Amino acid sequence: MSTHIIEETSRGLQAISIEDHMYNDRKIFMCEPVTSQSSADIIKQLMYLDQHDPGREIEIYISSPGGEVTAGLVICDFINQMKSPVTTICIGMAASMGAIIFMHGTKRKMLPHSQILIHDPSFGSMDMGGQKPMQLMEQVNDLMKVRKTLGKIIAKQTGMTLQSVYAKTKKDSVFSAEEAVESGIATEII
C-alpha cells in the first residue's frame, strides 16, 4: 500500500506517492532482507541518482535483517565507486549484511534508539545432511574466507583491529547508537 501526498505542480494539484517524493529528494529505503533482487533494486536507484546529479549526496535509510553476503557486497562495491557521496542512516536495526552496507556510508548516522548487529557469517538454512566430511570441510573453508573478507571490511570501515572485530563477531554483538559511535561503526546520532 502506497501513501500519497498532494503537491502543487505546473499541472495543478497532483497526488504523488511518498516513495517517489522521497526518491526525488535522493532518499532510498532499504527495509527488507538483502537478496539478489533487493540488491539489484538498490543499485538501479543508486546508479540513476549518481548519473543524474553526480556529486550530490544520496541518503540510504536502512532497517534490514541482513541476508545474502554476495548480494550485499555488490551494493558496497557500487557505493565505493560512485561519484556521489552516500550517507547511511540506521532506522531500527541494521543487522548482519545490513550493518556491513550501513558501514559503507561516507557519513553513518543513527537514530537514538536504533541498533547495529554484527556477527560471523553462517550457513543459513543450508542442509548439511548426507554430505561427506571433505564436502563439509570445503564449505567450512569457504565460510572462513567470507569471515575474513567481512572482518577486513569492518576493520577498515571502523578503525577497529581485526582481532577486535573477530572478538565481537564470534557471537551476535548488538550496538546501541552510542556504542556504535564509540566503536567507529557510526559517525553520529541524529
Tens of pLDDT along the chain (190 residues)? 567 667 777 777 777 777 777 788 899 999 999 999 999 999 999 999 999 999 999 999 999 999 999 999 999 999 999 999 999 999 999 999 999 999 999 999 999 999 999 999 887 666 666 778 888 788 888 889 999 999 999 999 999 999 999 999 999 999 999 999 999 999 999 9
User: What is the set of active-site residues?
Assistant: 96, 119
Question: Which residues does residue 4 pair with via DSSP β-bridges, in sequence order?
Answer: 17
Distance between CA atoms of residues 53 and 15, nearest Å:
25
For residue 129, what is the DSSP state? T
pLDDT given at position 12: 75
pLDDT at 129: 67
| Residue spans per domain, the chain | 4-189
3-state SS record for 95-116: ECHHHHHHCCCCEEEECCCCEE
**Closest Cα partner for 62 from 23, 24, 101?**
101
* Helix H or strand E segment including 26: none
Domain 4-189: assigned CATH number: 3.90.226.10
List strand residue ranges (DSSP E) for the chain, in order: 4-9, 12-17, 27-30, 58-64, 86-95, 107-110, 115-118, 173-176, 188-189
